[in-house]
Amino acid sequence: MVLAIRRRRAAQGEPRTQALALGPARSLPQPRSQSHPHAQTLGPSRQQLQARTQGPAHPQPQTQAQGLGPARTQPLAQAPGPAHPQATAQALALGPARPQPRARARARQQAQARVYQPHQTFEGLSDRVCIQRYRLTADAMYHLCDLLRGSLGASQNTNFALSVPDKVSTALAILASGSFQRFAAQTTGVGQSTASRVLGQFLEALIPHTPDYITFPTDPSTQGQTMRDFLEIANIPQVLGAVDGTYVNIKKPAQDSHTFVNRHRTYAMNMMVVSSARLEFTDVLARFPGSSHDSSVWSQSALLRRFRRGEFTPGWLLGDHSYPLQPWLLTPLAHPEGAAELQYNHAHKRTSHTTWDSSARGVGCG
C-alpha cells in the first residue's frame, strides 16, 4: 500500500514531504546506486537526507548545480528581531524610545535662535553720564580707544565680535563701579565670562602705558608748575604732591586672608596714592594688604628712597597724621599753639583734603 502511494506521487511529480521538511538542498547529493531494487520508488535514503542537511564534502559538477539552482555555501542569516515574542509585544506597547534628557535639551537649544543683546557703550553719552558710569569724560574714553586700538582690535574672523569701544566701556564699568563682574556686565550688555575676558585684555593692554601717564614731576619746569598749582590753593609753597592711603576692596583671599582685613573689617588692599593739585595721580603703590599701616607702606616705597637721594630738592609732600614728620613730608601739628600754627593746620587741611578726597573718589573707595 505504501509502495503504491509512493509510486503514484513519484509519477505525478509531487514534492516529497521529506524535501519540504528539510528545505532546499544545499548541493547535489551523490547519485543513488542503480543496483538497488527500489531505487526509483523508495525516494531518498538516509545518507542522502543527511548529505542534504550537512552539505557535500566536495564541490559538485557545474551541470548538476545548474539543474538544482545556485548552491548556498553560507547558512541563511536569521532575521533580526527580539529573541522572545513577549519582548516584541512589550516594545510595541511602549512605542518608540524617548530621547535622553540631555539630548532633548540639546535639541531645544538648537531649535532656539541665539539672541545677541545690544552692547551699551559710552558713545553718544554726555560727559556727566560718562563720569557717573566710567569716571572719565567722553573725550578721555575716545583717547583710550585710540591708544589701545592696536591691542584690543576685534578679530575679523569672529561673528558679533566686540568693538574697541565695547571693550573699553565694559572694562571701565567694572573698574569704576568696584562691583562684581556680573553686575557690571549687565550694564554693558555682555555676559559675565565675556566681561571677565575683556577686563583681562584691557588691563594687559593698558599697563605698558602706565609710565606715560603716572609719573612724578622730575624736570624743573614740571616741578615749578606743580608747585604753583598747589600754592594757589592755600599759599603753601614748594609742594610737589599730596600723599595718602586708600582702601581697594577685594574678595577674600585664599591664603593669609587675615592680613587683608582693614580697620573697617573688610578685605582690601592698602594703596598709597600721590596726587597733584590737578587731581592727577603722580605715584601709585598697590601691593600691600589692608592691615598695613600708611606709614609702613610709605617707609617701603620707592618714592621715599628718591627723596632721600635728593632728587626733588627743594620740595616736599603733604601727609596726614598717619605719616611721620620728615624733611620731605609735612604733616599737621598735633597740638597747634598760636595763630600761625592754627593757620598752618588750616592751610594744610585745605590743600591736602582737596586732593585726597578727589583721589579716593577716583579709585572708587575710601
- Per-residue pLDDT, 92: 55
Q: What angle do CA 174, 179, 180 make, to 5 degrees?
A: 90
Residue range 243-270, pLDDT digits in tens:
999 998 888 999 999 999 999 999 999 9
8 Å CB contact between 128 and 199: no
- Per-residue pLDDT, 208: 93
Q: Which ranges of the chain have pLDDT less than 70?
A: 1-6, 8-101, 104-120, 154-160, 178-188, 355-366
Record the pTM.
0.60
Beta bridge partners of 241: 317
Residue range 153-206, pLDDT digits in tens:
765 555 557 889 889 988 888 888 766 555 555 566 777 788 888 899 999 999
- Per-residue pLDDT, 183: 56
- Per-residue pLDDT, 26: 54
- Per-residue pLDDT, 327: 94
8 Å CB contact between 271 and 356: no
